[in-house]
Amino acid sequence: MQNGRIYSFDDFELDAANRQLRRNDKPLSLSARAFDVLVALVENNGRLVNKDEIFSNVWHDQIVEESNLTVHVSQIRKALGETRRNPRFIETVPGYGYRFVGELRDAEDDEIVIETETLERITIEREETCDAESNGRKIGGLEVDTFAPGKSETAGKLRSIHLVAVAGALLVGLSAAFGLYYLNAEKPAAPFEKIKPARLTNSGKVSRATISPDGKYIAYALSESEGNSIRVQQVGTGSDILVVPPVKAQIWELKFLPDGSRIHYSLFASDKTDPQHFRVPSLGGLSERIPNIVASFVAFAPDGKRMAYAQSDSASGQNHLIVADADGGNKRTIASKSHPNTFETNAPVVAWSPDGETIACLAEQFDTEASYSTIVGVNAHDGSERLLSEQRWYNVFSIEWLKNGSGLLISASDKVSGGNQIRFISYPRGEARQITNDLSQYDSVSVTNDGRSFVSIETGMTSGIFVGELGADENDFKEILSETDALHPLVWAPDGRIVYRSNKDGVSNLWTMNADGGDRRQLTANAQVDSRGLCISPDGRYIVFGSWRNGKSNIWRVDADGGGLTQLTNGDIDVYPSCSSDNLSIVYQKGLHSSQKLWKVPLAGGESVQLTDSYSKWPAISNDGRRVSYFHMAEEKWRLGIISSDGGPTLQRLDVPASLAQYRTYWSPDGGSLFYVSAIGNVGNIWSLPLDGSAPKPITNFKSHSIDDFSLSPDGKHFAVSRVSRTSDAVLIKDEKRPE
Give the pairing of strands 647-655 and 542-547. unpaired
Helix (H) / strand (E) containing 671:
none
DSSP label at 414? S
Cα R_g (the chain), whole angstroms: 32
Q: Is residue 331, in this structure, part of any structural domain at all?
A: yes
Q: Band of the pLDDT at 113, cuts 50, 70, 90?
A: very low
Same domain (yes/no): 38, 95: yes
The pLDDT-based confidence of 700 (bands split at 50, 70, 90) is very high
Q: Is there a contact between 630 and 617 (Cβ–Cβ < 8 Å)? A: yes
Taking residues 168-181, report their average pLDDT: 45
Burial label for 15, CB within 10 Å (0-12, 13-18, 19+), is buried
- Judged against a pLDDT cut of 80, whether residue 618 lies above it is answered with yes
Q: What distance in Å separates the CA atoms of residue 74 and residue 82, rounded to the nearest whole number?
A: 9
Q: Which of 413, 430, 451 is the last residue of a domain?
A: 451
Query: Same structural domain for residues 218 and 305?
Result: no
CATH number at residue 81: 1.10.10.10
- CATH of residue 366's domain is 2.120.10.30
In a domain, 665, yes or no: no
**Which stretches of 656-699 are assigned E, i.e. beta strand?**
666-667, 673-680, 683-690, 697-698
Residue 378 shares a structural domain with residue 265: no
> How far is the C-alpha of 511 from the C-alpha of 516, rounded, in Å?
14
Give me the chain's average pLDDT, please: 84
- Contacts of residue 131, defined as CB under 8 A and 6 or more positions apart, other chains included, come to none
CA 72 – CA 39 distance, rounded (Å): 12
Q: Answer whether 644's CB lies under 8 Å from 628's CB.
A: yes
Kindly report which listed range (562-571, 636-645, 698-707) carries the lowest average pLDDT score.
636-645
State how far Cα 334 lies from the chain centre: 23
Question: Is residue 485 one of the residues assigned to a domain?
Answer: no
SS3 string, 422-443, reads: EEEEECCCCCEEECCCCCCEEC
- 673 closest CA partner among 633, 640, 647: 640
Quote the CA–CA distance of 55 and 689 in Å, as a whole number: 56
Phi-psi map region of 223: left, alpha, beta (phi>0 left; psi -120 to 50 alpha): beta
Confidence (pLDDT) at 621: 97
Whole-angstrom distance, CA of residue 445 vs CA of residue 211: 9
- Provide the residue range defining the domain that includes 375: 295-451
pLDDT of residue 176: 47
| % of the chain residues with pLDDT over 70 | 85
Distance CA 123, CA 137 (A): 17
| Domain termination residue (choose one: 240, 275, 290) | 290
Residue 492 covered by a domain? no
Residues near 288 by Cβ (< 8 Å), separated by ≥ 6? 278, 279, 280
Range with lowest mean pLDDT among 268-277, 378-387, 574-583, 626-635: 268-277
In a domain, 178, yes or no: no
Residue 234 CA to residue 221 CA, distance in Å, equals 15
Strands of the 332-338 sheet, one edge to the other: 299-300, 306-313, 318-325, 332-338
d(CA 613, CA 628): 15
Residues 302, 429: one domain? yes
3-state helix, strand, coil in the chain (%, to 5): 10, 45, 45
The closest of 74, 185, 628 to 66, measured between CA atoms, is 74
259-307 residue pLDDT tens: 999 999 999 886 677 789 999 999 999 999 999 898 889 999 999 999 9
Judged against a pLDDT cut of 80, whether residue 127 lies above it is answered with no
Alpha-carbon distance values, 417 to 370, 375, 501, 576, 591 (Å) = 16, 21, 11, 18, 21
Average pLDDT over residues 236-247: 90
* Exposure string over 160-187, b if 16+ CB within 10 A, otherwise e: eeeeeeeeeeeeeeeeeeeeeeeeeeee
Residue 443 near residue 420, CB atoms below 8 Å: yes
| Distance, CA of 359 to CA of 256 (rounded, Å) | 18
Distance CA 409, CA 459 (A): 18
Q: Considering the domain boundaries, does residue 692 fall inside one?
A: no
Is the separation of the CB atoms in 254 and 267 below 8 Å? no
pLDDT of residue 679: 86
Q: Looking at residues 6-32, what average pLDDT do you find?
A: 87
Phi and psi of 491, rounded to 5°? -150, 145
Q: Which long-range contacts (CB under 8 A, 24 or more apart) does 637-640 make?
A: 637/271, 637/272, 637/273, 638/270, 638/271, 638/272, 638/273, 638/663, 640/665, 640/674, 640/689
In a domain, 571, yes or no: no
C-alpha distance from residue 411 to each of 19, 445, 558, 582, 630 (Å): 34, 7, 34, 44, 31
Which contacts of 275-284 are long-range, i.e. CB under 8 A and separated by 24 or more positions? Answer: 277/253, 277/328, 280/230, 280/243, 280/244, 282/212, 282/217, 282/219, 282/232, 282/243, 282/256, 283/232, 283/241, 283/243, 284/232, 284/241, 284/242, 284/243
Domain identity same for 446 and 299 = yes
Q: Are 420 and 311 within one domain?
A: yes
Using an 8 Å Cβ cutoff, are 41 and 49 in contact?
A: yes
Q: How many domains does the chain have?
A: 3
Q: What local confidence, expressed as pLDDT, does residue 660 receive?
A: 85
340 and 283 housed in the same domain: no
Predicted confidence (pLDDT) per residue in 345-397, tens digit: 888 999 999 999 999 999 988 776 677 899 999 999 999 999 999 888 988 99
Q: Cis before residue 577, ω within 30 degrees of 0?
A: no
* Reported confidence tier of residue 330, pLDDT bands at 50, 70, 90: very high
Q: Give exposure, 435-461, as e/b (b: 16+ Cβ within 10 Å).
A: bbeeebbbbbbbbbbebbbbbbbbbbb
- Is the pTM value of this prediction over 0.85? no
Is residue 489 scored above 50 in pLDDT? yes
**Do 320 and 280 fall within a single domain?**
no
What pLDDT sits at residue 230? 96
Kindly state whether residues 303 and 258 are assigned to the same domain.
Answer: no
At how many degrees (to 10) do helices 32-43 and 66-80 cross?
80
The secondary structure of residue 716, as a DSSP letter, is S
Cα dist. 430→426, 435, 661 in Å? 5, 15, 37
Q: What is the DSSP letter of 261?
A: S
Residue 52 three-state SS: helix
SS (H, E, C) 131-199: CCCCCEEEECCEEEECCCCCCCHHHHHHHHHHHHHHHHHHHHHHHHHHHHHHHHCCCCCCCCCCEEEEE
Rounded to 5 degrees, φ, ψ at 293 are: -105, 110
Does one domain contain both 446 and 301?
yes
Q: What is the DSSP string of 593-661?
A: GGG-EEEEEETT----EE--SSSEEEEEE-TTSSEEEEEEEETTEEEEEEEETTEEEEEEEEEPPTTB-
Q: Is residue 541 part of a domain?
A: no
pLDDT category of residue 86 using cuts at 50, 70 and 90: confident
The confidence band for 416, taking pLDDT boundaries of 50, 70 and 90, is: low
- CA-to-CA distance for 504 and 483, rounded, in angstroms? 8
Amino acid at 308: A
CB 456 within 8 A of CB 733: yes
Which CATH number covers residue 263?
Answer: 2.40.128
Residue 615, pLDDT score: 84
Segments in 210-293 forming alpha helices (H): none
In a shared domain, residues 308 and 414: yes
- Between CA 150 and CA 148 the distance in angstroms is 6
Note the helical H segments in 185-251. none
User: In Å, what is the CA distance from 74 to each residue of 7, 38, 45, 57, 578?
Assistant: 20, 11, 19, 18, 34
Among the candidates 451, 481, 499, a domain finishes at 451
Nearest by Cα to 206 from 185, 228, 222: 222
Beta carbons within 8 Å of 61's beta carbon, 6+ residues apart: none
Within this chain, do residues 274 and 329 fall inside the same structural domain, yes or no? Answer: no
Cis before 191 (ω within 30): no
